Structure 1
Amino acid sequence: MVSKIDLDHIEMMQYDVLKEIGNIGAGNATTALSMLINAKVDMKVPKVELLEFRELADIVGGAESLVVGILITLEGDIHGMMMFMLEKMSAHHLVNILMGKNIDNFEEFTEMDLSALMEIGNIISGAYLSSLSQLTKLFISSSVPLMSIDMAGAILSVPAIEFSKVGDKALLIQSQFGENDTEVNGYFILIPTLESYDEIMKSLGL
């Protein structure tokens, strides 16, 4: 089956739809994060781009920057992967707030910290997928999340290898939460199969 969407020459209306999906998803995830840490969370307008896999690492600080990556596989009406990435410093900020620790505590993550990080990623990713499902009226289920703390290049190589055979682009939603000294940079990377892009567009009448 030939896909109706060409990610190398995407139509403006299709791109606008993808950007709107990114905006709504990020807003929903921010609300979930606010409820999780029981504090008001401000979010700057997310930056949504369709990028090649090789460009993603530079956005998060370079291939050798340390990040926390939480990866889930998408199933149901939509197939693909979604990854939520945090710069390691941002991950410390979130865990410190959630666990009631000193905001400037940057010691190595404990087992409890890692469990909290996994929960943060799970809830934020779930909120994002929920908004996508509600918007498109499509059924989307996800696998148990896999978490890794490693260099950005190594973490991003997993979806890149998996999806390079169907395309070399991913939808990146870059969000900033919080204020100044406690600002958290979060990155949602949505990688549907080309057939799933078609399903999303069809569900929205395009």
Structure 2
Amino acid sequence: MIQKLNEIHLDALKEVGNIGVANAATSLSILLNRTIDITIPSVDIVDIEDICEFVGGEEEIVNAVFFRVIGDFEGNFFLIIKEHSLKKLVHNLYTENHLNMSNNVEMDYSLFNEFGNILAASYVSSLSDLICSRLSLTVPQSAKDMAGAILTYGIHSYGEIGNDAMIINTSFYYDNEKIEGYMLFLPEPNTLHSFFNKFGIGF
């Protein structure tokens, strides 16, 4: 069903992505106490088997926070951060919150969960306001594993999925350094009708 998307549909999705990640970047700027720049989101339609190529390949070790978006419009939301970028983020979070650095992995992931929760909540809140729909997030789940394992679990454990996936992704930059990660939002195919109807676009 996703293959039916045309340029008008993709433009609408890109606009939603623009607004969502801009608000997410603002929240992140407050959290890290520094200016955050973002890339313009891209919208890609890919075969479900090729999703991992967007994050460096199936065997790329990544850190991820996964949410289900539930309500009038449902889907899967991922925040995926590469290992060296996570270390930078955790260091900044410790510094800005006046915490002592430690080797406490549980504490590190607690901060990472909070980071992901703020980004996802900002994105979904923007989406909810834009399409005048009731949306909420499930409790986040975080993991460190190969990208293939994380994405396979998140995609196939919840909701309907076809042979294709839609990915709205972006990258964040701070202090001229790239946060090597991705925000991926995969709407369920059977919810796209109501989404595009909000924009007056047939589907």
TM-score range, shorter chain: 0.7 to 0.9
Q: Distance in 1 between matches of 2:20 and 2:154?
A: 20
CA distance in 2, matches of 1:68, 1:35: 22
Which runs of 4 or more aligned residues in structure 1 lie more than 3 Å from their structure 2 counterparts after TM superposition?
A: 162-166
Structure 2 residues not aligned, in runs of 5+:
97-101
Please point out which of 188, 195, 199 is paired with 2:194.
199
Cα pair 2:24 2:120 within 8 Å, conserved: yes
Q: In the alignment, what sits opposite 1:45?
A: 40
| Distance (Å, rounded) in 1 between the aligned partners of 2:159 and 2:191 | 15
Preserved contact between residue 172 and residue 179 of structure 2 (Cα < 8 Å): yes
Q: Residue 3 of structure 2 contacts residue 45 of structure 2 at CA under 8 Å; is this kept in 1?
A: no
Matched, 1:81 2:76: yes
| Secondary structure of residue in 1 paired with 2:154 | helix
SS of structure 2 residue aligned to 1:100 = helix
Q: 1:49 Cα deviation (Å)? A: 1.9
The yes-or-no answer on 1:60 pairing with 2:24 is no
Matched, 1:173 2:169: yes
State the AA in 1 paired with 2:83.
Answer: K
The count of aligned residue pairs is: 195
Asked whether 1:161 is paired with 2:143, we answer no
**Shift in Å, 1:126:** 0.5
Instruction: Give the aligned partner of residue 33 of structure 1.
Output: 28
In the aligned structure 2, how far is the partner of 1:52 from the partner of 1:69?
Answer: 21
- The Cα of 1:42 is off from its aligned counterpart by 1.8
- Conserved in 1, the CA contact under 8 Å of 2:39 and 2:170? no
Q: For residues 155-184 of structure 1, what are the alpha-carbon distances to aligned partners after superposition, in whole Å with 9 as ceiling and x for unaligned?
A: 01013324685323132312132244x320
**Amino acid aligned to 1:178:** Y
| Counterpart-to-counterpart distance in 2, 1:52 and 1:22 | 20
Structure 1 unmatched ranges of 5 or more:
1-5, 102-106
C-alpha separation in 2, matches of 1:90 and 1:188 = 14
Further displaced range: 46-55 or 84-93: 46-55
| One-letter amino acid matched to 2:140 | P
Q: Deviations over 1:88-143 (max 9, x none)?
A: 21111111111129xxxxx9662221111010000001001011111111110111
**TM-score, normalised by the number of residues in structure 1:** 0.86
Is the aligned partner of 1:137 residue 2:132?
yes
> Distance in 2 between the 1:140 and 1:111 partners?
29
Distance 2:26 2:46 in 1: 26
What percent of counterpart residues are identical?
Answer: 32
- 8 Å CA contact 2:75–2:159 kept in 1: the answer is no
Equivalent position of 1:122 in the other structure = 117
